[in-house]
């Protein structure tokens, strides 16, 4: 039934209508006599928080299954409410389980993924030998919900199409990406560089800066070069754009006046950039003494995607004197990686507000992971409030990064920084 797959892979029919309903009905009729060895996976994107259901999230979720879809190993049906169904043979179950794990990681910060019971509400597995009737009931329920939602939304199809057109007009397209690439070639990217310091904050000791992370302000860049366009709206085009950011950042750091600086910095790079000819060229022109002052930050999700490439890149970088930091982790994923086995110097975990829920258990877990990786190697990032800093300190964390940390540095310099009270030490 490749026609069903081709018709629905690239489109998500919203409340304006479910164009794939007939195809799905025909496919289920076909499966009624060919259930043996067939499985189904239902992914309930509609149950995620609204902030995790933007168009680029939906595209990223579908793309995770793209290999098995394009190789005709799975049939894909997208539903009007952003949920989708996949049907496949038992022999590709391993591939599907791997893809399902990736999609759970993609939305790991959503409450729906927090815990085994909740995650089962997000991804549901069916064996058609025994669960065929359950799948039929599921489809009927989904159809009823979508019909109700379409009626509640109201308005003409033309009005909905107009709203959809306006909404899509702000999505990054290949044409806009090409225009942006050309503009970047003539733009001084230093105007969009922001510095976020990683600092050691311990009890009554003065705040000590370890290094400053240099990042491109995507929001400022977009408002200047392509106002009104969400550069992150298409994750795959944005990924391509980050590789351009990498090259521009390397060009900036290669300037003689920048190389003269002795301050420690960190830069975010793609693993592909670290293994590229552009990085080798940068490396040849960099002052040898400067290498020891640069920390290269690599994304955890890239490590999950290609461990061998990461190991090759990190070994090369460390052999040349650079340090490695792994970022993009949360309290739910921080235990999945072993910093020492990955030859990384730092591990960075983003603070999220749900750490305050189940406070005692969260403190104990954070403290244990921080100790395992090393208190001088574990960074708690995205510290936006005094309460977040205090939480990390109660867990024994010493290294922090975030807007509140920047404010604390400024206030300390003016004698106005009130340190959070560390009520206890966790051992």
- Given this model, what pLDDT does residue 17 score? 39
pLDDT (tens digit per residue) in 235-260: 778 888 999 999 999 999 988 888 77
Range of the domain at 49: 2-167
CA distances from 203 to 208, 331, 375 (A): 12, 23, 14
Beta bridge pairs of residue 327: 299
- Given this model, what pLDDT does residue 418 score? 59
Q: Quick one: 37 and 159 in the same domain?
A: yes
Rounded CA-CA distance 178/165 in Å is 21
Q: What integer is the mean pLDDT of 30-39?
A: 84
Q: Would residue 264 count as lying in a domain? A: yes
Domain boundary among 167, 191, 210: 167
Q: Quick one: 74 and 131 in the same domain?
A: yes
For the chain, what is the domain count?
2
Give the three-state DSSP class for 125.
Answer: strand
Sheet strand arrangement including 74-78: 74-78, 84-89, 38-43, 123-127
Rounded CA-CA distance 421/38 in Å is 58
Looking at the predicted structure, is the pLDDT value of residue 311 above 90? yes
Does residue 235 contact residue 59 with C-beta atoms inside 8 Å? yes
Give the three-state DSSP class for 276.
Answer: coil
Domain boundary among 114, 144, 167: 167
Q: Quick one: 188 and 95 in the same domain?
A: no
Which is more confident, 171 or 342? 342
Rounded CA-CA distance 378/193 in Å is 25
Does residue 235 contact residue 60 with C-beta atoms inside 8 Å? yes
Backbone φ, ψ for residue 109 (5° rounding): -85, -5
Q: Quick one: 292 and 409 in the same domain?
A: yes
Q: Would residue 329 count as lying in a domain? A: yes
Q: Which residues of 85-100 are buried (b: 16+ CB within 10 A; e: fewer)?
A: bbbbeeebeebbeebb
pLDDT band at 102 (very low <50, low <70, confident <90, very high): confident
Domain boundary among 117, 146, 167: 167
pLDDT band at 304 (very low <50, low <70, confident <90, very high): confident
Q: Would residue 421 count as lying in a domain? A: no
- Given this model, what pLDDT does residue 375 score? 96
416 CB neighbour count, 10 Å cutoff:
10
* Residues recorded for the chain: 427
- Given this model, what pLDDT does residue 21 score? 66
Radius of gyration of the chain (CA): 24
Q: Quick one: 390 and 248 in the same domain?
A: yes
Q: Would residue 135 count as lying in a domain? A: yes
Q: Quick one: 196 and 333 in the same domain?
A: yes
pLDDT (tens digit per residue) in 128-157: 999 999 998 888 887 776 655 555 444 445
Q: Quick one: 201 and 314 in the same domain?
A: yes
Rounded CA-CA distance 16/153 in Å is 9
Could you tell me which residues come within 8 angstroms of residue 68 by beta carbon, excluding any fewer than 6 positions away? 74, 86, 88, 92, 95, 96, 99
Q: Give me the CATH number covering residue 134.
A: 3.30.70
- Given this model, what pLDDT does residue 116 score? 47
- Given this model, what pLDDT does residue 52 score? 79
| Inter-axis angle of helices 386-394 and 403-413, nearest 10 | 100
Q: What integer is the mean pLDDT of 200-204?
A: 89
Q: Would residue 419 count as lying in a domain? A: no
- Given this model, what pLDDT does residue 87 score? 92
Rounded CA-CA distance 70/54 in Å is 24
CA distances from 301 to 56, 132, 326, 337 (A): 17, 35, 10, 11
Which is more confident, 210 or 52? 210
Q: Quick one: 179 and 157 in the same domain?
A: no
Highest mean pLDDT among 16-20, 60-64, 335-339, 388-392: 388-392
Q: Would residue 427 count as lying in a domain? A: no
pLDDT (tens digit per residue) in 371-389: 999 999 999 999 999 999 9
Which is more confident, 87 or 156? 87
Q: Residue 66's closest CA among 126, 138, 125, 8?
A: 8
Looking at the predicted structure, is the pLDDT value of residue 14 above 70? no
Which is more confident, 307 or 198? 198
Beta bridge pairs of residue 380: 349, 400
- Given this model, what pLDDT does residue 1 score? 37
Q: Would residue 425 count as lying in a domain? A: no
E strand residue ranges, 90-235: 123-127, 193-200, 208-216
- Given this model, what pLDDT does residue 143 score? 74
Q: Would residue 221 count as lying in a domain? A: yes
Q: Quick one: 85 and 232 in the same domain?
A: no
pLDDT (tens digit per residue) in 158-182: 444 544 444 444 577 888 888 888 8
In terms of Cβ atoms closer than 10 Å to its own Cβ (0-12, 13-18, 19+), residue 335 is middle
Which is more confident, 231 or 295? 295
Rounded CA-CA distance 327/253 in Å is 21
Q: Quick one: 255 and 146 in the same domain?
A: no
Q: Quick one: 151 and 232 in the same domain?
A: no
Q: What integer is the mean pLDDT of 28-53?
A: 86
Q: Which residue has the tokens 């069916």?
A: 126
Q: Quick one: 256 and 113 in the same domain?
A: no
Q: Give me the CATH number covering residue 258.
A: 3.20.20.450
């Amino acid at each position: 039934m490749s026609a069903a797959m081709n018709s629905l892979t690239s489109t998500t029919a919203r409340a304006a209508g479910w164009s794939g309903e007939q195809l799905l009905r025909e496919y289920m009729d076909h499966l009624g006599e060919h259930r043996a060895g067939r499985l189904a996976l239902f992914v309930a994107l509609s149950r995620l928080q609204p902030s995790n259901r933007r168009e680029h999230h939906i595209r990223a979720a579908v793309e995770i299954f793209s290999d098995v879809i394009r190789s005709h190993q799975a049939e894909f049906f997208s539903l009007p409410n952003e949920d989708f169904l996949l049907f496949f043979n038992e022999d590709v179950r391993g591939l599907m389980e791997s893809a399902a794990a990736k999609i759970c990681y993609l939305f790991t910060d959503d409450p729906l993924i927090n815990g085994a019971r909740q995650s089962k509400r997000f991804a549901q597995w069916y064996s058609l030998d025994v669960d065929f009737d359950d799948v039929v009931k599921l489809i009927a329920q989904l159809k009823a919900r979508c019909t109700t939602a379409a009626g509640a939304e109201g308005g003409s199809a033309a009005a909905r199409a107009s709203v959809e057109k306006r909404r899509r007009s702000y999505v990054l397209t290949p044409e806009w990406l090409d225009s942006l690439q050309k503009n970047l070639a003539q733009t001084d990217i230093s105007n969009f560089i922001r510095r976020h310091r990683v600092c050691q904050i311990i009890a009554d000791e003065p705040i000590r800066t370890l290094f400053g992370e240099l990042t491109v302000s995507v929001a400022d860049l977009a408002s200047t070069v392509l106002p009104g366009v969400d550069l992150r709206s298409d994750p795959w085009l944005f990924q391509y754009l980050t590789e351009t950011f990498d090259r521009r950042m390397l060009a900036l750091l290669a300037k003689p006046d920048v190389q003269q600086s002795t301050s420690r910095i960190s830069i975010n790079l793609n693993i592909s950039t670290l293994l590229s000819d552009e990085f080798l060229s940068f490396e040849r022109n960099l002052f040898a003494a400067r290498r020891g002052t640069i920390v290269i930050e690599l994304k955890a999700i890239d490590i999950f995607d290609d461990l061998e490439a990461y190991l090759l890149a990190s070994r090369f970088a460390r052999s040349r004197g650079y340090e490695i930091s792994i970022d993009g982790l949360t309290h739910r994923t921080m235990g999945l990686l072993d910093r020492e086995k990955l030859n990384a110097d730092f591990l960075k975990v983003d603070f999220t507000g749900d750490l305050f829920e189940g406070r005692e258990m969260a403190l104990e877990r954070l403290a244990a992971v921080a100790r395992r990786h090393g208190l001088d190697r574990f960074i708690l990032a995205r510290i936006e409030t005094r309460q977040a800093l205090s939480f990390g300190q109660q867990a024994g964390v010493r290294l922090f990064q975030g807007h509140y940390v920047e404010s604390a540095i400024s206030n300390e310099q003016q004698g106005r920084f009130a340190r959070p009270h560390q009520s206890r030490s966790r051992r």
